[in-house]
Amino acid sequence: MSTTTTDPTSAPAAALKLGEGAVVLDAEVGERGPWSGVVAAGDVLTIVDLHGNQAVDTLFYGVGPDGAISPSARYSAQATIAAQGNLFLTTGSVLRDQESRPLMTIVADEVGNHDSVGGACSQESNTLRYGHHTKHQHACVENFLIEGARHGLGKADLVGNVNFFMNVPVDADGSLGIVDGLSAPGKRLALRAETDTLVLISNCPQVNNPCNGFDPTAVRVIVTRKGRKR
């Protein structure tokens, strides 16, 4: 699957979507900012890396029949990695909750490698890694807390997250590195919801390592639904 040749910042959602059916949501997530939305079972979420080399930190929570967010049905990196026998995520990877129940499946991927172990930056980790002068910098944990509060989620509900488009190679000795991303302007991936799922995004604001090319940029999220007319 090749990257779209249209300008992803201005193209109609129908030209960018990787899921079948009508577009039911099209939103831009600004650089450094958060976003959240419930993706209904069967719907497909396409994430577009508008300018390339942008890390998209993402969490997932199951939604009950009554529409309530279920923190007990939250994404589990451990269950996801164990079930697929691979640290990295791509087409066919099933994102699972802590009981190994499927939340979402990656059904299309133009990058081919997404991180499951690098975690989210925080003001504390910035200080530890890059020095006390970075303490004031906004970070992904703060984005998750701000956006999660809209759904009744707090710090205790945060878990290890997925980092879409982020390149975190693992050396033979188990050490990790954050290096230049494999993405490019217009690259996309798509996730199909296996159950109603709250998707919580921090469009990573990190400027101290190459995960964003030291220049955070916007991304686009598009949700499509089968069986619905345009």
Number of neighbours of residue 69 by Cβ within 10 angstroms = 23
Whole-number Å distance between alpha carbons of 10 and 21: 20
Whole-number Å distance between alpha carbons of 100 and 74: 10
Give the model's pLDDT for residue 135: 81
SS3 category, 73: strand
pTM: 0.93
- Give the pLDDT mean for 189-210: 95
Point out the least confidently predicted range of 15-19, 61-65, 135-139, 224-228: 135-139
| In the chain, % of residues over pLDDT 70 | 97
Give the model's pLDDT for residue 179: 83
Give the model's pLDDT for residue 177: 80
Beta-strand pair 44-49/56-63: unpaired
For the cut 90, the answer to whether the pLDDT of residue 129 exceeds it is: no
Cβ density class 181-218: b for 16+ within 10 Å, e for less: bbbebbbbbbbbbbbbbbbbbbbbbbbebbbbbeebbb
Point out the least confidently predicted range of 36-45, 72-81, 197-206, 221-230: 221-230
Whole-number Å distance between alpha carbons of 219 and 30: 7
